[in-house]
Structure 1
Amino acid sequence: MMTSDNERARLLPSAALDVLGNDLLLRCASYLDADGLVQLGRTSARFGIPQAGQERSLANEAARQRFRQSATEDERSRLPKYDGESDVGLPVSLTEGIDLEADWERNINPMFVTSSYKSAVAEQLRSQRTAKWGESNVHCCTYGCKDGRCDWTDWDNETGSFDWQGQEELEVSGTIGLLLDLDEGTLSVFKNGLCLGAMKEGLGGEYCWFVNVGSLCTIGISRGRAPN
C-alpha cells in the first residue's frame, strides 16, 4: 500500500516527536522566542499542559529556564512570578524598549474613550478585575507633559485632576521617568534624571503604563534604573 506525500507530511512530525525525550525537547524549545513558546504551548497537550509528575508544561519550563539564564538578579527581583501566572510572560517583560519605526511603522492609533462618556467601556474593564488588582480604587493615573498635572480615574464615576508637590511641565524636549513603588504604593516622577516627587499615593495591585502625546515630536521608550 502506497502512502501519499500529503499523508506522510501529516504522520512523520508526530511520530518523530514521540520518540524524543523532554530534555531534548526543552533544548529545542530554548531556541524559540517568547511568541514561539506561546505557539508551542498551543500545538498540543504534551507541550501546553503539565504531564504526569511535572510541575510545569514543557513550554512554561522552557520559558522559565530562558528567563533565569537571561535575566539579571535585579530583573528577577522586579519581575516576580505570581500564582496562576504563566512563565511565558516573563521573557517578554525583558524586552528593551519599543522600536516605533520597525515594530509599529510609526503608526499608532489607540482608541480613546473616557469611562464617564461610555460607561460600557468601564464596565468591560471592571469585569476583568481579579484579586491581583488589590484594594486600590485608582485604575488609571497619568502625568501630563503639558502642565505636569496628575489625572486619575477609578473606571467608575470618580475622577481627579490635581497639582502635586514638585510638579513641573516638560516644556520642550527632555526625559520623563516614572517609578512605581509597589511597596509604598507611590508613583514618582523624574525629569531629566532629577526626582520631582511622588505624584500619586495609595496605589496597589497590577499596573500598566502608556504615553500620551498631543503634538508632533520624536519619542523613545526604554527601561532604566532610578537615579540615586
Structure 2
Amino acid sequence: MECYHGSAKRQRVSKVEPSALTRLANIDVLGHLAAFLEAGELCQVRATCKALGSSDESAFDGLSMAEEAARRVFESASDDEKAMLPRHNGEGWIELYHHLLMLRARLTFDQLVGRNIEYQEGDEAAVRATGTSSAICGNHIMRAGKHWATFVANRLYLSVGVIRPLPGWDQRALEEFTPNHLRFLEDLRRERTSRWEGDVHFCQFYLDGQCWYSNWEGFVDQRSFVDQRSDWEGINDFDRRINTLGMLLDLDSGTLSVYQNGKRVGILKDGLAGVYCWITCFDVPHGSLSIERGYHMTE
C-alpha cells in the first residue's frame, strides 16, 4: 500500500513539474530575478535548467532565456555605464552583465601575483608586501570612458598604474612577479588577444615621480627590464611627500594622468587603447597600499 501511494505521489509530481517550469521560465520573471543575481549565478541557472539555458531562435534572436535576461538588465543601465562598456565582438550578454556589476562594485585586488604579498586584515582593497610581487584588479577590466582611482601608499619605491588583463596569473604560484622584467616577456606576449589595442601594454608610476611603460616587444635595457621611461610634463610639480594620489585612465583620449591635492599634476602617458586593469607593483620589502574607486577633485 505504501508503495502504491508513493508511486501515485511520484506520478502527480511528474505531471505538475512541466507546468511549474513553464510558469517559472518566463522571461519577464527571469528578467526581474536577474537583477538580484550575480553573473556567475545566472550562468548556473543557464547550465542547470534546460528551459532557461537553451536558445530559442524565434523568441529571443537565438539567445537563451538567461542571456536575454542579462541583455535586458544591461540595457536598463545608465547611458554613462553603457558608454563605458561597449560590447566586444562575440561577447555574451552574461559576460557583459558581469562587467557592469564590477563597474558598480568597489575596486579590489582580485589577483595577488608572487608569494610575498597578502591582504591587510582580509581587506581585498588593501595589500602589503615583503618582497617583489604585484596586485591586480583583475575582475575590474576597463575598456572605454574615464576611470578614476585613489591610491594610498607608504613607500616611494612601489608603483601604481595599468596593465592588460592577465587571467589566471594569480594561480601560477610564482615566487615573484613584476611585469616589466625580461623573464616574463614571452609569457606576457602569449596573453595577447584581439581586445588589446595600441602598443602600451603596461604603464607604471613610481611614487618618486618616475613613469615607465612597455609594449612587451623588443626593447630590453641593461637592467634586463623591458620598459621605457616616459618624460612627462609635470614631474617637477609632483610632491613625493604626499602618499595619497589619484589616477585617471581616460580611454576616450587614450591618456593616463596623475593627481595630487585634488588637482592634475600631469599626463603620464598617451597612446593607451583597448582593455586595462589597475595594478600595483612592489620592488622593495615592507610596503603597503590601498585602492578606492573615484577621486575627489577640488578644481
Please state which band the TM-score falls in when normalised by the shorter chain: 0.7 to 0.9
CA–CA distance in structure 2, aligned partners of residues 207 and 191 of structure 1 = 22
Structure 2 residue 212 is the aligned partner of structure 1 residue 151 = yes
8 Å contact from structure 2 (residues 203, 212) kept in 1:
yes
Higher relative contact order (CA 8 A, sep 6+): 2
CA–CA distance in structure 1, aligned partners of residues 16 and 36 of structure 2 = 18
TM-score (norm 2): 0.59
Structure 2 residue 202 is the aligned partner of structure 1 residue 140 = yes
Counterparts in 2 of 1:15-94, with a 5 A limit?
Answer: 15=18, 16-20=20-24, 21-44=26-49, 46-53=51-58, 54-55=60-61, 56-69=63-76, 71-86=77-92, 87-89=96-98, 90-94=100-104
Structure 1 window deviating more from structure 2 (19-28 vs 194-203): it is: 19-28
TM-score (norm 1): 0.74
Three-state SS of the structure 2 residue aligned to 1:47 is helix
CA–CA distance in structure 1, aligned partners of residues 16 and 38 of structure 2 = 21
Query: Which AA in structure 1 matches 2:202?
Result: C
How large is the RMSD of aligned CA atoms in angstroms?
3.6
Structure 1 unmatched ranges of 5 or more: none
Q: What is the CA distance between 1:160 and its match in structure 2?
A: 0.7
Q: What is the CA deviation profile of residues 176-207 of structure 1, one whole-angstrom value per residue up to 9, with x for unaligned ones? A: 22222223221111123110111101222222
Structure 1 window deviating more from structure 2 (211-220 vs 181-190): it is: 211-220
CA–CA distance in structure 2, aligned partners of residues 120 and 35 of structure 1 = 31
8 Å contact from structure 1 (residues 34, 92) kept in 2:
no
Q: What is the CA distance between 1:124 and its match in structure 2?
A: 2.4
Match of 1:216 among 255, 265, 287: 287
Q: In percent, how many aligned pairs have the same letter?
A: 29
* 1:173 aligned partner: 243
Residues 91, 59 of structure 1: alpha-carbon distance in 2 compared, 3 angstrom cutoff: farther
Structure 2 unmatched ranges of 5 or more: 110-118, 135-173, 220-226
Residues 185, 31 of structure 1: alpha-carbon distance in 2 compared, 3 angstrom cutoff: closer
Structure 2 residue 231 is the aligned partner of structure 1 residue 163 = yes
CA–CA distance in structure 2, aligned partners of residues 17 and 225 of structure 1 = 50
8 Å contact from structure 2 (residues 201, 213) kept in 1:
yes
8 Å contact from structure 1 (residues 142, 152) kept in 2:
yes
Structure 1 window deviating more from structure 2 (16-25 vs 203-212): it is: 16-25
Q: What is the CA deviation profile of residues 142-194 of structure 1, one whole-angstrom value per residue up to 9, with x for unaligned ones? A: 1112x1211111123332123321122543422x2222222322111112311
Q: How many residues align?
A: 218
Match of 2:183 among 106, 117, 138: 117
